[in-house]
Amino acid sequence: MASTSLLKASPVLDKSEWVKGQSVLFRQPSSAAVVLSNRATSLTVRAASSYADELVKTAKTIASPGRGILAMDESNATCGKRLDSIGLENTEANRQAYRTLLVSAPGLGQYISGAILFEETLYQSTTEGKKMVDVLVEQNIVPGIKVDKGLVPLVGSNNESWCQGLDGLSSRTAAYYQQGARFAKWRTVVSIPNGPSALAVKEAAWGLARYAAISQDSGLVPIVEPEILLDGEHDIDRTYEVAEKVWAEVFFYLAQNNVMFEGILLKPSMVTPGAESKDRATPEQVASYTLKLLRNRIPPAVPGIMFLSGGQSELEATLNLNAMNQAPNPWHVSFSYARALQNTCLKTWGGRAENVNAAQTTLLARAKANSLAQLGKYTGEGESDGAKEGMFVKDYTY
């Protein structure tokens, strides 16, 4: 059985339901339990909390046709690198100005269903004094929150890492829910050049599963992100082999932790050759390998597959997504992009107030392109040279 409970189909939240439900949704979760017994033993297993129906509705809202996720959860340090690339100092005022530009782009909710925020942004107001969360909700965009505390060296491994942040997570997710977040994100990574070791894979999978269970208990839909890094010279078959093992481990531990599959979203890497490989893959090859892996490893109960771009160019990420949507899939196959949505937008803005409208137009064009790709209708016409620029950074951290 894929989850701890079988739920009736729930409708996607429309804007009126979402806004109207804000006061109702601020409540404390209650516990439920399922008793499993046989002649010899009796085992009590914690089941989905009273948030179960809400989790399903939120996941379906995010995984709605023609829409995907804007990942704008860069840490302050990484946001500083972005600002530095356009000659701006890394100050809270500059971060606020850029994030205001993103969330207030007119009509963004037509293409974007969810926005992942950094903690600063969740509690931040726009330059006009309005809460960022409120601006998103008015655009029919579900606010989300990055909850992991970053990667640190994994002792006993082959120079690999593990993701920290489980300590205190329950109290933090409860506070984030009260602040208006309705989904969460936890990113862990696996490196192919460094193995990956069985230890690193198990640690990544267990951490994701514990985070997912805690998030659901607080009313947040967990985005499960086991990123297979692009670093390396390996071919696409090696990527497939590693991803197959990682995804199997992740879903094994999700089940072990009684995570409700209907109330999660998966944010995986696409199956591609390593960034330094001599062999390049066409969008059709990427789609073939990736969809095969999804069919072999991901339960259809999972409502949405929200791919990360992982250093692909804006154009490449959109073309690959479009190729995966040329035939119906059991899941909503969409995007959760950061640089692949923001790169040209950031350069267009350049930190100048007079460029805000042009930058927002660029962001909307990129979002629309990926919306069309989610529907399998993207043609690639009219793309700029900037959209073709690769964004892979070796040993990238954020």
- What are the catalytic residues? 225, 267
Three-state helix/strand/coil letters over 8-30: CCCCCCCHHHHHHCHHHHCCCCC
DSSP SS3 for 335: strand
Count the neighbouring beta carbons within 10 Å of the beta carbon of residue 45: 10
Q: Please state at what angle helix 92-103 crosses helix 339-349, rounded to 10 degrees.
A: 110
Cβ within 8 Å of residue 46, ≥6 positions away = 31, 32, 33, 258
**Could you tell me which of 146, 225, 148 has the C-alpha nearest to residue 189?**
225
CA Rg value for the chain: 20
Query: Which residues are registered as beta bridge partners of 34?
Result: 45
- Beta strand 161-163 with 68-72 is unpaired
Helix (H) or strand (E) holding 372: helix 356-374
Q: What is the token pair recorded at 44?
A: 């009590």
Rounded to 5°, angle at Cα 296 from 48 and 52: 15
DSSP class of residue 351? T
Helix (H) or strand (E) holding 188: strand 183-190
